[in-house]
């Protein structure tokens, strides 16, 4: 007859081995998926060369993840980023950019400190 401590020790080690194997199998079966990083275009370097106090907005107004990735490289403040909530300025900007390049929209951009518009990720326009 086996001792009670031997059986509980054997059961404990068997359980540890099974759980470790299950954990390793679960983590190995799904290798990480990496997305292709969008290519950096010349516009990113043009934005980077702007003065430090520049504020940019992308048109059409979207919270495109590509633009957020670009912001890591150019380091300028950007209106249409992404956060867990949308502040009122963001909502106002989204509504106003529907009218771009209307004079009322340009005036609103100037009044709110936005200095440049990036059009479709290809052209940089200074707000005058």
pLDDT of residue 53: 92
Q: Is the confidence at residue 30, as pLDDT, over 70?
A: no
Question: Does residue 33 carry a pLDDT above 90?
Answer: no
Out of 19-33, 34-48, 96-110, the most confident range is: 96-110
Answer yes or no: is pLDDT of 1 > 60: no
Distance separating alpha carbons of residues 115 and 54, to the nearest angstrom: 6
- For the cut 90, the answer to whether the pLDDT of residue 51 exceeds it is yes
Choose among 37, 56, 38, 36: nearest CA to 46: 56
- The CA-to-CA distance between both ends of the chain, in Å, stands at 93
What's the mean pLDDT in 6-28? 84
Looking at residue 120, its pLDDT comes to 80
Average pLDDT, the chain: 83
d(CA 54, CA 93) in angstroms, rounded, equals 16
User: Whats the size of the chain, residue-wise?
Assistant: 128
Rounded Cα distance between 75 and 59, Å, is 18
User: What local confidence, expressed as pLDDT, does residue 86 receive?
Assistant: 77
Q: What are phi and psi of 8, to 5 degrees?
A: -65, -35
28 pLDDT higher than 90: no
Predicted confidence (pLDDT) at residue 111 exceeds the cutoff of 90: yes
Q: Global pTM?
A: 0.66
Span 82-96, average pLDDT: 82
């Amino acid at each position: 007859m086996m001792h009670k401590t031997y059986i509980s020790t054997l059961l404990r080690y068997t359980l540890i081995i099974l759980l470790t194997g299950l954990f390793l199998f679960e983590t190995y079966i799904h290798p990480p998926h990496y997305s292709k990083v969008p290519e950096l275009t010349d516009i990113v370097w043009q934005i980077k060369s702007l003065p430090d106090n520049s504020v940019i907005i992308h048109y059409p107004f979207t919270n495109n993840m590509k633009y957020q990735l670009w912001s890591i490289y150019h380091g300028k403040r950007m209106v249409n980023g992404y956060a867990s909530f949308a502040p009122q300025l963001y909502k106002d900007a989204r509504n106003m950019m529907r009218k771009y390049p209307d004079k009322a929209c340009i005036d609103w951009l100037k009044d709110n400190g936005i200095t440049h518009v990036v059009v479709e990720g290809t052209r940089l326009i200074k707000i005058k």
